[in-house]
């Protein structure tokens, strides 16, 4: 199972961070609970949103298979078309505007002491509805795995849903956010119900992180 949270960014028009944006973080770690009351209420609403109406499985799974084939061909235009079709069908199901997908090359990354420290898989711009995903790994420039790209697209689409379906002005990484990504991801992968395990969280300071030992 790939990371449920590719390093994601929410960009403002000026290119600066917004909320949890533009911060390279360990995967599957929530944002801390904000202090201002209004922002905290939205965070708590997102954290508590552990249900999401799911689209027809067959359609989502067919779109996911087209994405797999496009990645195997290793051509960015084909990956963009397949990814945009997947996003369009999801947007149509949820009756929200479709985000516009851009597929880019090698992931932005940081290297420290000769070792990869972090890399950016995808991001979403709230104001424009543009979703970007990088299709090549940071160091070797290899085409990313199918599961990795699928997860990136669904992760960023859930940011889009937070804004357009739930009408939240921002879209923090909460436990509920990751649950919504997880539900779409396993539906797309055809994961049998008896093979799925609920996400298990560990409190670390002001954040929560997934306990992978309980999910293996």
Higher local confidence (pLDDT), 68 or 205? 68
Q: Is a pLDDT exceeding 50 seen at residue 20?
A: no
Residues 6+ apart with CB under 8 A from 194: none
CA dihedral for 158, 163, 167, 173, sign (positive or negative): positive
Residue 13 has pLDDT above 50, yes or no: no
* Whether the predicted pLDDT of 173 surpasses 70: yes
Q: What is the pTM of this model?
A: 0.86
Say yes or no to pLDDT of 133 above 90.
yes
pLDDT recorded at residue 118: 76
Residue range 152-179: mean pLDDT, rounded: 97
| Lowest mean pLDDT, pick from 32-36, 58-62, 93-97 | 32-36
The answer to whether 131 touches 83, Cβ cutoff 8 Å, is no
Confidence band, pLDDT 50/70/90 cuts, at residue 116: low
Domains of the chain by residue range: 8-214
| Cβ(188)–Cβ(54) below 8 Å | no
pLDDT at 18 over 70: no
134-148 residues labelled b (16+ CB within 10 A) or e (exposed): bbbbbeeeebbebbb
CB 31 within 8 A of CB 174: yes
User: Residue 177's closest CA among 187, 166, 188?
Assistant: 166
DSSP 130: E
Residue entry with tokens 């298979």: 65
- Is the Cα dihedral 55, 56, 58, 62 positive or negative? negative
pLDDT of 79 above 50: yes
């Amino acid at each position: 199972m790939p990371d449920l949270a590719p390093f994601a960014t929410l960009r403002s028009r000026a290119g600066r961070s917004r909320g949890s944006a533009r911060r390279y973080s360990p995967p599957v770690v929530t944002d801390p609970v904000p202090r201002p009351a209004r922002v905290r209420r939205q965070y708590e609403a997102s954290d508590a949103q552990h249900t999401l109406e799911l689209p027809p499985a067959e359609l989502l799974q067919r779109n996911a298979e087209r994405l797999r084939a496009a990645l195997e061909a290793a051509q960015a235009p084909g990956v963009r078309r397949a990814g945009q079709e997947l996003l369009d069908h999801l947007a149509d199901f949820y009756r929200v505007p479709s985000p516009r997908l851009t597929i880019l090359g090698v992931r932005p990354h940081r290297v420290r002491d000769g070792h990869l420290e972090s890399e950016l898989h995808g991001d979403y711009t709230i104001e424009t509805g543009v979703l970007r995903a990088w299709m090549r790994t940071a160091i070797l420039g290899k085409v990313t795995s199918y599961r990795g790209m699928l997860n990136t697209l669904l992760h960023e689409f859930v940011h889009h849903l937070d804004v357009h379906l739930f009408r939240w002005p921002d879209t923090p990484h909460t436990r509920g956010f990751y649950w919504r990504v997880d539900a779409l991801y396993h539906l797309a992968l055809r994961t049998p119900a008896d093979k799925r395990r609920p996400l298990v969280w560990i409190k670390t300071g002001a954040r929560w992180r997934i306990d992978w030992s309980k999910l293996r």
